[in-house]
């Protein structure tokens, strides 16, 4: 076996190309997974906030006999639309949700809406809370929703309030194909994030 001298020390071009290829392969696998992880992490904001809105809506209904309605806040137009940029929960947002007594912690990725007024619902029978956002920044608006339908005394669903934001329909459970009621769920018709 031949021993290399100090003047021959180092890596060959083939060895370097193999290392570059391995790094490229690992990057091709890791980067999409990391981007998906980031989007899911941002989406968790909507799950937490909608669960809080639903809890407060039910308390509001128990006290006043009706559900609370508010439009899409914060207003995303000044931010150039929905994206991965956080939006401030400003004075207008505070005013819109003040009576309900809900506010998120800090800035938000999503614009929040709670709708009660669509036929066949009245404000005393059902509500839909929607968080609309674009947390993967692909220019497709997505929604996370909490739908509390109108039911008969026996619990049969007879109507629901649609989303006030972008007309999103009720989320569908991917396993059962059934609408998801009284739970926070992603509306996957346009985008999963």
CA 98 to chain centre: 22
Query: Do strands 127-133 and 142-148 pair parallel, antiparallel, or not at all (unpaired)?
Result: antiparallel
Residue 4 has a pLDDT of: 59
d(CA 81, CA 112): 14
pLDDT confidence tier of residue 95, bands split at 50, 70 and 90: very high
| Nearest CA-CA partner of 130 in 142, 117, 120, 119 | 142
pLDDT confidence tier of residue 2, bands split at 50, 70 and 90: low
Residue 104 has a pLDDT of: 96
Residue 165 has a pLDDT of: 78
Distances (CA, A) of 169 to 44, 47, 185: 20, 17, 12
Residue 120 has a pLDDT of: 52
């Amino acid at each position: 076996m031949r021993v290399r001298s100090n003047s021959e020390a180092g890596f060959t071009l083939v060895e370097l190309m193999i290392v570059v290829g391995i790094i490229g392969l690992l990057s091709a696998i890791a980067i999409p997974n990391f981007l998906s992880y980031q989007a899911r992490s941002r989406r968790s904001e909507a799950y937490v906030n909608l669960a809080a809105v639903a809890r407060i809506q039910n308390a509001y209904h128990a006290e006043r006999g009706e559900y609370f309605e508010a439009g899409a806040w914060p207003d995303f137009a000044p931010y150039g639309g929905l994206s991965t940029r956080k939006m401030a929960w400003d004075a207008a947002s505070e005013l819109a949700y003040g009576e309900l007594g809900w506010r998120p912690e800090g800035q938000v990725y999503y614009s929040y809406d709670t709708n009660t007024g669509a036929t066949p619902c009245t404000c005393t029978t059902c509500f839909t809370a929607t968080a609309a956002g674009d947390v993967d920044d692909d220019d497709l608006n997505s929604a996370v929703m909490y739908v509390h339908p109108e039911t008969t005394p026996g619990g049969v669903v007879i109507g629901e309030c649609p989303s006030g934001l972008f007309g999103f329909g009720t989320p569908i459970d991917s396993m059962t194909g059934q609408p998801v009621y009284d739970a926070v769920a992603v509306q996957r018709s346009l985008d999963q994030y």
